[in-house]
Chains A and B, each alone.
Chain A
Amino acid sequence: MYGFEAMTFNIHGGYLEAIVRGHRSGLLTAADYNNLCQCETLDDIKMHLSATEYGPYLQNEPSPLHTTTIVEKCTLKLVDEYKHMLCQATEPLSTFLEYITYGHMIDNVVLIVTGTLHERDVQELLEKCHPLGMFDSIATLAVAQNMRELYRLVLVDTPLAPYFSECITSEDLDDMNIEIMRNTLYKAYLEDFYQFCQKLGGATAEIMSDLLAFEADRRAVNITINSIGTELTRDDRKKLYSSFGLLYPYGHEELAVCEDIDQVRGVMEKYPPYQPIFGKLSYGESQMLDKAFYEEEVKRLCLSFEQQFHYGVFFAYMRLREQEIRNLMWISECVAQNQKSRVHDSVVFIF
């Protein structure tokens, strides 16, 4: 019953909630970002990060550093923290934590399938996979020729199996089919995650509904913008939108017929929570939209920590760390390319 989590939550979830709140205090602050933005080289970045929780992960990396190395090592830290929480969690928190990684699993599946289609070496592809999305039979994905085989040979024994019901065909895998498969899987995953959180009820359901609805709406906007000028039909575009969220169903109807960014803006400005996001953009521009969405997401994720005794803090922490890694990647790229004036184009401050 909602409101009574305080009585029972700490029995099974108290330790891990304390752990994740402790991890939250280790997120980089604005002062840290200011120091990083003034670095001249990647070694300077490594030196500044050595004073943070990323220090032990970067200290043994030899010079010259590469931006991908910094991202990989910072991701390893996130993976270690996640695995520690997962092995300490009991049901239903353990299932909730596993749900958080299914998005990465989908990305890894698509990476392996796409790379195999392009005749890339499987080992090379496995090295590029996100560690949070790995599963035992992932290397076998290279054998499949179409989606039916993909499901039958590999994915039937993975958590992604239930999401394949809508996209099992015997068509050969090509770039368009893979893209549709990616988005269909992700849609099914989001809807399943949403239903799972609703079943948990209480503060978890309330907070996670808001966060997942925002994720679904952002995906709808990105799919619309990215499909402008492509061969994706309006019907196919509409099928990729999730069946929940603030934009469902009328916003989706309008987004499906949009043919340029200004029409998308016209649709989104009817929804008050999204007016400030599109208000930051000038007409015809979409380059800063990603940053605007990330800023809004970070705001909502930080707010979830204001309430106790719910699982949303775990989801929020994982997402905030991923945003931090994105920030570090962007800062590293700007420093490596000697474009420090562009650093603040995409860095989203968390605190």
Chain B
Amino acid sequence: MEEQVKKVDHQNHEEGAINKVSNPEIEEETLIFLDSLDHYLVLIDSLSNSLLHQGWMELAGARYSMGASRVNSALLNLQPHSAATTVEITHHQDGSLTKSPKFNLCKWASPDNKDSSLEKENIEEDEQLKENISSQRDSGNQESSPDSSIESVTNASPRESNGSEINASPRKIENPLQKERAKVLSMFGTLVSPKLRASQLTFETALETLVEIANARSSILKSYEALHRDMKSTQE
């Protein structure tokens, strides 16, 4: 009886030693899992409570300004065309047994567009555009103002002076991203309200958030599997 008790004590002592070694790893995995979950929940909240609502309200505002005949589903283009934005999925094998997919958004990089590196070349201007919009929202404007954003983008390139004569030659749009956005919006007409442009940017941001959510979800699943594996190995 005493020998059996001693054996059990010895086993418990060994298990305790094993647990003391693997606990930090499990704790780390647990923290990674909880961080991923928190990030995921924050993204879900921002998408549903602010971005999508903002986008739909801006679209309603554009309909109010331009009229129902100019902003309606009957104008959507049914001609065959490739997607303006695609999602690439890459699988990373990072030394562990699991493959975690990573989602990358390729904006305005359709096969119809000959310049496939549009996004990389103009990413700074795109980020500047988004920063201007977020600063407009923070300063108390209820809706974003792409006019000032467009102004900041055009400020990045040389401008004619205000006193110049009317230029009869076509003014090229220096930002190819802006050109692609205008091309997509042209189904509603080429002279559209700034509210419609703002809603386009908002939905674009929502798309980026969706991809981030997908990546966060992938990270959650990966960290959950690692945690589950570690806990299983310690129990064995």
Contacts and interface: CB of A to CB of B under 8 A. Distances in A.
Contact of B154 (A114, A222, A259): A259
Interface in A319-351: 326, 329-330, 333-334, 337-339, 342, 345-346
Interface of B: 53, 56-57, 60-61, 63-65, 67-70, 72, 74-79, 136, 141-145, 147-148, 150-151, 153-154, 159, 162, 164, 166-173, 178, 182, 186-187, 189-195, 198
A238 interface: yes
B64 A330 contact: yes
Contacts of B144: 287
Contact of A287 (B78, B169, B194): B194
Interface size bucket, A side? 35 or more
B64 A346 contact: yes
Contact of B186 (A68, A128, A175, A227): A175
B3 to A, nearest CB: 71
8 contacts: A125-B74, A175-B187, A225-B147, A225-B194, A228-B150, A229-B178, A260-B147, A260-B154
A75 to B, nearest CB: 9
Nearest to B61: A346
A107 B69 CA distance: 7
Contacts of A304: none
A118 B187 contact: yes
Given A179-B191, A263-B162, A290 B141 contact: no
Interface in A222-261: 222-223, 225-235, 238, 253, 256-257, 259-261
Interface of A: 68, 71, 107-108, 110-111, 114-115, 118-120, 124-125, 127-130, 175-176, 178-179, 182-183, 222-223, 225-235, 238, 253, 256-257, 259-263, 282, 284-287, 290, 326, 329-330, 333-334, 337-339, 342, 345-346
A175 B188 CA distance: 9
Contacts of A230: 173, 182, 190-191
Contacts of A232: 190-191
A334 B63 CA distance: 13
B166 A114 contact: no
B148 A284 contact: yes
Contacts of A110: 69
Q: State the main secondary structure of chain B at its contact with A.
A: loop
A284 B143 CA distance: 12
Given A257-B164, A284-B148, A285-B145, A330 B60 contact: yes
A202 B68 CA distance: 35
Contacts of B78: 118-120
A338 B48 CA distance: 12
Given A129-B69, A259-B154, 7 more contacts: A107-B69, A114-B187, A118-B79, A229-B154, A233-B168, A285-B141, A346-B64
Majority secondary structure, A binding face: helix
Contacts of B186: 175-176
A233 B68 contact: no
A261 B151 CA distance: 9
Contacts of A124: 74
Contacts of A338: 53
Contacts of A129: 69
Contacts of A256: 166
A130 B147 CA distance: 30
Contacts of A114: 75, 187, 189
Nearest to A238: B166
A257 B162 contact: yes
A107 B70 contact: yes
Nearest to A345: B142
A229 B74 contact: no
Nearest to B67: A107
Contacts of B194: 225-226, 286-287
B77 A287 contact: no
B147 A228 contact: yes
Contacts of B67: 107
Contact of A290 (B60, B65, B142): B65
Contacts of A182: 189
